[in-house]
Amino acid sequence: MLAQAGVVSLMIDAPMVRPGFTAEADPLGPQSADATRQEVMDLRRGLDLLLARAEVDPKRVAYVGHSFHASCGAILDAVDKRPAAFVFMANPISESDFLMSDLPMVAEFRKKFGDDKIKEYLAKYGWSDPGEYAAYLGPSPALFQYATHDEFMTVAMEQKYFDMSKGPKEIKFYEATHSLDAAARRDRYEWLRKEIGVGELPAGALEKVPDTR
């Protein structure tokens, strides 16, 4: 859809969905952190590729990421200052806030592994927590899009991350689940038009985009 507005897009598969990936039996093992590290490395190499192309304006490159990709995008924002704008969809939050929360999906997890093991994991792999990078975001502007009925986090977690992040920023909440909704899609497009000059879309183009699942 964005190609109709003159946008060149690069979309990559996350490490967890590539051929040959095997899920780790222990979710508090190193593989989760390693996937984050690999993703950020891949994103930086993706920027190398885009910026090497003559048809790409190096001053108008933006990063848009949803869920895991938004978490990794926050780390990218902190360590790589080449993108001119960032959109974070349904993340980031602090991983420590999530793992030590009382969310239903976390309660059984904490009961099974115990808080001591979770704290040990966070101490060892804190470098993979987007919360550790919030103070280093910017100077490129960022749009944070969060859901008020997200299955994986609370509004308090979302607001906390936004409040502790640096750089020019804007936050929007949507009466939606983790997948967000059409209103978020419209806001995202309009924000990118403002920040990097995305072109006009044909009438009704946005409405034809299926909802994220």
At residue 31, does pLDDT exceed 90? Answer: no
Q: Which of 34-38, 42-46, 72-76 has the lowest mean pLDDT?
A: 34-38
Specify the higher pLDDT residue, 84 or 112. Answer: 84
Residue-level pLDDT at 118: 92
Residue 14 included in any domain: no
**Helix/strand/coil for 54:** coil
- pLDDT for res 21: 82
- Whole domain around residue 161: which residue ranges? 28-51+61-195
* pLDDT at position 81: 98
Q: Report the number of secondary-structure helices (H) and strands (E) in the chain.
A: 7, 4
How many folded domains does the chain comprise? Answer: 1
Lowest average pLDDT, out of 64-68, 94-98, 112-116, goes to 112-116
**Residue 87 pLDDT > 80:** yes
- Would you say residue 7 lies in a domain? no
| Within-domain flag for 114 | yes
* 17 occurs within a structural domain: no
Q: What is the pLDDT of residue 22?
A: 79
Give 22 or 135, the one with higher predicted confidence.
135
Instruction: Give which of 5, 8, 10 is closest to 55, Cα–Cα.
Output: 8
Whether 20 is covered by a domain: the verdict is no
Q: Name the residue among 78, 15, 76 with its Cα closest to residue 48.
A: 76
The model's pTM is 0.94
Predicted confidence at residue 137, as pLDDT, reads 98
The answer, yes or no, to whether residue 26 has pLDDT greater than 80, is no
- The mean pLDDT of the chain is 94
pLDDT for 77: 98
Is the pLDDT at 165 greater than 90, yes or no? yes
Residue 91 has pLDDT above 80, yes or no: yes
CATH classification of the domain holding 90: 3.40.50.1820
Query: Per the domain annotation, does 2 fall within a domain?
Result: no
Question: In this structure, is residue 23 part of a structural domain?
Answer: no
Check the CA dihedral 18-22-28-33 and report its sign.
negative
Q: Is the pLDDT of residue 23 over 80?
A: no
Predicted pLDDT at 159: 98
Lowest average pLDDT, out of 2-11, 25-34, 84-93, 119-128, goes to 25-34
4 is a domain residue: no
Cβ neighbour number for residue 82 with a 10 Å cutoff: 15
Look at residues 5, 13, 152, 131 and name the one whose alpha carbon lies nearest to residue 75.
Answer: 131
